[in-house]
């Protein structure tokens, strides 16, 4: 006798397990179906009588955990789903919620909010960390910003300072401080690395608080300075947030003719310091940076000093009114006619003293990463712009994140049509002049310009916006622009150091934030390509990835697959095998509970060569200063997988002496509507794999078995194994035949053989 499309609802099953021989199953058309197949009634009844999976594991293999790979949202949002998980599993692995791309924003900030919702539930479930380092689902935007070429802005054709300092007297790139000397207050000075966007800078160490002039650093010119208007400009930072540097000038022999005093407040981040003064003495030949006021170490770089000179005229006729250009005449908080809106916008207002030179500037804040147009800052003109006319927009901006982005566009302010002119500006944490030239070739109704700021979460400060028709230069005349931009590519050594520091920061954050909640981690996921080579290190790229090509194009430093979607970023390409060693070193260093650390890989059961390469990879880590606790084999298999292959894999893995865990087990059938025979085959495969694991992996090396996703419900297979039925539970969370296969494998025998009756009115019993 067969029962078509039968399921035993969870409530009914739970009642049977709880007690009560008098719970009689009412045979009826069920609310939920297993599949479209026929299941023998006797088998269906047996499956319903099985205990929860975790109870069999606790009894027969107490040293091994049965866990589930799942989508965190499913667990948090679906009570029925959550209950099945809690009933059957001892731990969980999140499919995506703990990956680098999910936690790290484009600005480098960490967001654990979703994961914290889980840990706050105190479910008692162990958590396996998946994963720390991978070649995909990394926060690509942030990673690329760290190693992007240095943007160098140079005045063209002249600077506003006729710089009298050069070489080591200015940028210290010769690893020397040139003609600068220092004295006083037992201070010291020298050159150190790195500098401000460069290799070297000058450092000034003042051991104790004193008067500013108690510690001085000075440059003496060969000739007296001629009277006139001078400017000094440099970058500085200090080890104290209360740091102070004081500028002055004097005669270097008599110490007379002093003046020009100006104090710069120097914090712990690089600060651009500029000061303009009028010199009236005719015997001044020395400039000084007094650093005695606050005990700290000061770092100074890129010093420019000389007569002030006029910068080239603007390259456009600025048609923005003053309050919409420099914001100095804006009422408190207003933005001078600029409007802002969008789901990504958090705030926008003018702020006194926020500008580049301490003037008023507009500050706009995007509340998180998104599409550029989800936060917009726009100015609408009364009359449309001229079709065919070249226009230039120029402004100064900085961001709270080195990965900041602003996007320019134009449109019609009423219909929102006639859009175009898209251009992305990369905005870092230092003030930078941005400029873009465009021509409206198609439309005659454009009357709005927009700066979109929704792409990368952060705060953007914008000042001195100029916009208008380009001033055409007469033929033969020199072209004058506000600035020109070049790029300096970081050396391989610099990139490696930057990325290893970022890796350590990320792993430390993950380990310390999760604390004791995680008992084990996939430190490195899928390091071996399908071609048997180590990804990134030996060119083991994903299919479709091209070979690396270094570029300086627009300063993006976008190398080969790092342009690909889904967060491709190959740590090994920049760091070599040190990426693997350091990943395990950092994980062990920062784990607060001695969590077990794994390498995780797929297709090990079908590719002995890949398995051999993975073991070679693990041995390299172990032989170079770090330690791998275990190896995870994913085991996304089809129903055609053979016992010989599975046995061989587990025997080879066991020979390493490492902990071995099955990390992502599912058995695909090639259909979402399997037959009864296919369901039985699937059950047999599950049973065979678990049996092989217990037989071929010594008990001391057995770690955990993770089934990948809970059910055949379509919401769990939107992207993974779409239109499939690979799991232990059907689309309504009812037990499939595979549930029995897993339980029998754990127990080591057919548990249902000891059930006393095929009548539902009889309770289940198991010979445990």
User: For residue 701, is it within any domain?
Assistant: yes
CATH assignment of the domain containing 132: 3.20.20.80
CATH number of the domain where residue 225 is located: 2.60.120.260
Q: Does residue 376 sit in the same domain as residue 470?
A: yes
Mark whether 459 and 527 lie in a shared domain.
Answer: no
How many residues are recorded in the chain?
Answer: 768
- Tell me: do 304 and 334 sit in the same domain: no
On whether residue 317 sits in a domain, the answer given is: no
Beta bridge partners of 206: 296
Same domain assignment for residues 481 and 498: no
- Residues 537-552 pLDDT 10s: 987 654 444 444 443 3
Contact (CB, 8 A) for 480 and 95: no
Residue 613 tokens read as 């390469």
Q: Does residue 296 sit in the same domain as residue 330?
A: no
Q: What is the DSSP string of 480-547?
A: -EEEEEEEEPPPHHHHHHHHHHHHHHHHHHHHHHHGGGEEEEEEEE--B-TTSSBTTTS--PPTTPPP
Would you say residue 176 lies in a domain?
yes
Report the domain count for the chain.
3
Q: Which is nearest to 353 in space by CA: 265, 246, 243, 229?
A: 265
Are 15 and 762 in contact by the 8 Å Cβ rule? The answer is: no
Residue 614 is encoded by which pair of tokens? 């993975």
* Paired tokens of 272: 């651009």
Residue 45 lies inside a defined structural domain of this protein: no
> Are 186 and 132 in a shared domain?
no
Residues 460 and 483 occupy one common structural domain: yes
Q: What is the pLDDT of residue 541?
A: 56
One domain for residues 550 and 594: yes
Domain end marker among 467, 487, 507 = 487
Cβ pair 685, 640 in contact under 8 A: no
Within a domain: residue 122? yes
371 and 499 assigned to the same domain: no
* Cα separation, 486 vs 225, whole angstroms: 32
- Closest by CA to 9, choosing from 761, 734, 762, 736, is 734
User: What is the spatial distance between Cα 139 and Cα 320, in angstroms, rounded to a whole number?
Assistant: 38
Residues 6+ apart with CB under 8 A from 731: 32, 33, 711, 712, 713, 714
519 and 651 within one domain: yes
> What's the pLDDT score for residue 586?
98
Report yes or no on 746 lying in a domain. no
Residues 671 and 620 in one domain: yes
Residue 627 structural domain: 52-142+494-717
- Residue 473's pLDDT is 53
User: Block means of pLDDT (10 residues each) for the chain, length 768 residues?
Assistant: 31 32 29 49 90 97 97 95 97 96 87 96 94 93 81 50 85 94 96 94 97 96 87 96 96 90 95 94 93 97 89 81 91 88 93 90 94 96 95 96 96 96 94 94 96 96 95 48 53 95 98 96 96 87 46 36 67 96 98 97 97 98 98 97 98 98 96 93 98 98 97 89 92 95 97 72 39
**Residue at 695 is within a domain:** yes
Task: Give the pLDDT confidence of 573-586 residue by residue, as tens digits.
Answer: 999 999 999 999 99
In a domain, 41, yes or no: no
Domain end call among 446, 466, 487:
487
Do 649 and 502 share a structural domain?
A: yes
């Amino acid at each position: 006798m067969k029962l078509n499309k039968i399921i035993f609802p969870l409530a009914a099953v739970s009642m049977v397990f709880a007690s009560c021989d008098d719970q009689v199953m009412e045979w009826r058309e069920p609310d939920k179906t297993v599949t479209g197949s026929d299941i023998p009634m006797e088998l269906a009844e047996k499956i319903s009588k099985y205990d929860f999976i975790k109870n069999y594991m606790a009894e027969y293999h107490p040293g091994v955990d049965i866990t589930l790979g799942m989508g965190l949202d499913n667990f948090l949002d679906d009570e029925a789903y959550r209950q099945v998980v809690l009933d059957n599993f001892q731990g969980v692995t999140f499919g995506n919620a703990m990956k680098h791309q999910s936690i790290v924003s484009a600005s480098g900030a960490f967001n654990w909010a979703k994961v914290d919702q889980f840990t706050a539930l105190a479910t008692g479930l162990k958590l396996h960390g998946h994963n720390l380092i991978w070649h995909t689902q990394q926060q690509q935007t942030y990673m690329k910003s760290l190693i992007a070429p240095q943007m160098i802005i140079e005045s063209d054709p002249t600077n506003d300072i006729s710089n009298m300092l050069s070489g080591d007297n200015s940028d210290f790139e010769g690893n020397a401080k040139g003609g600068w000397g220092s004295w006083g207050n037992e201070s010291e000075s020298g050159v150190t690395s790195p500098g401000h966007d460069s290799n070297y800078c000058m450092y000034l160490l003042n051991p104790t608080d004193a008067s500013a002039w108690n510690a001085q650093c000075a440059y003496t010119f060969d000739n007296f300075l001629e009277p006139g208007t001078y400017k000094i400009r440099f970058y500085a930072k200090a080890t104290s947030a209360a740091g102070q540097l004081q500028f002055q000038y004097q005669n270097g022999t008599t110490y007379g003719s002093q003046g020009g005093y100006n104090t710069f407040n120097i914090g712990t981040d690089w600060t651009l310091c500029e000061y303009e003064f009028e010199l009236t003495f005719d015997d001044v030949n020395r400039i000084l940076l007094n650093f005695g006021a606050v005990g700290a170490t000061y770092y100074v770089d890129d010093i420019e000093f000389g007569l002030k000179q006029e910068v080239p005229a603007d390259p456009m006729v600025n048609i923005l009114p003053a309050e919409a250009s420099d914001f100095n005449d804006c009422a408190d908080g207003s933005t001078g006619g600029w409007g802002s809106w969008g789901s990504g916008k958090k705030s926008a207002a003018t702020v006194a003293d926020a500008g580049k030179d301490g003037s008023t500037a507009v500050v706009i804040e995007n509340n998180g990463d998104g599409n550029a147009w989800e936060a917009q800052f726009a100015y609408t003109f009364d009359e449309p712009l001229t079709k065919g006319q070249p226009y230039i927009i120029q402004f100064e901006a900085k961001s709270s994140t080195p990965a900041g982005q602003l996007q320019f566009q134009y449109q019609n302010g009423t219909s929102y049509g006639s859009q175009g002119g898209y251009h992305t500006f990369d905005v870092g944490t230092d003030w930078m002049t941005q400029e873009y030239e465009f021509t409206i070739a198609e439309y005659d109704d454009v009357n709005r310009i927009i700066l979109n700021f929704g792409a990368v979460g952060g705060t953007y400060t914008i000042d001195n916006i100029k916009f208008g028709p380009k001033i055409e230069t007469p033929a033969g005349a020199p072209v004058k622009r506000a600035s020109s931009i070049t790029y300096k590519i970081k050396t391989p050594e610099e990139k490696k150091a930057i990325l290893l520091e970022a890796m350590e920061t990320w792993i430390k954050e993950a380990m310390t934030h999760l604390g004791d909640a995680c008992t084990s981690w996939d430190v490195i996921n899928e390091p071996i390509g399908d071609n048997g080579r180590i990804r990134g290190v030996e060119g083991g790229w994903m299919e479709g990835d091209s070979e690396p090509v270094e570029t300086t194009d627009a300063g993006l430093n976008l190398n080969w697959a790092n342009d690909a979607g889904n967060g491709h970023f190959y740590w090994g390409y920049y760091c070599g095998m040190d990426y693997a060693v350091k990943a395990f070193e950092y994980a062990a260093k920062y784990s607060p509970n001695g969590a077990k650390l794994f390498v995780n890989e797929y297709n090990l059961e079908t590719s002995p060569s890949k398995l051999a390469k993975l073991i070679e990879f693990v041995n390299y880590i172990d032989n170079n200063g770090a330690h791998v606790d275990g190896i995870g084999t994913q085991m996304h298999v089809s129903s055609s997988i053979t016992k010989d292959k599975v046995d061989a894999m587990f025997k080879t893995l066991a020979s390493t002496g490492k902990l071995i865990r099955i990390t992502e087990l599912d058995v695909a059938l090639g259909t979402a509507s399997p037959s009864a025979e296919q369901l039985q085959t699937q059950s047999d495969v599950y049973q065979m794999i678990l049996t092989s694991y217990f037989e071929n992996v010594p008990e001391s090396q057995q770690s955990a078995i993770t089934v990948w996703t809970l059910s055949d419900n379509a919401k769990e297979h939107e992207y993974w194994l779409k239109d499939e039925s690979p799991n232990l539970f059907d689309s309504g969370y009812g037990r499939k035949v595979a549930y029995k296969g897993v339980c029998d494998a754990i127990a080591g025998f057919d548990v249902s053989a000891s059930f006393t009756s095929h009548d539902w009115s009889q309770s289940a019993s198991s010979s445990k």
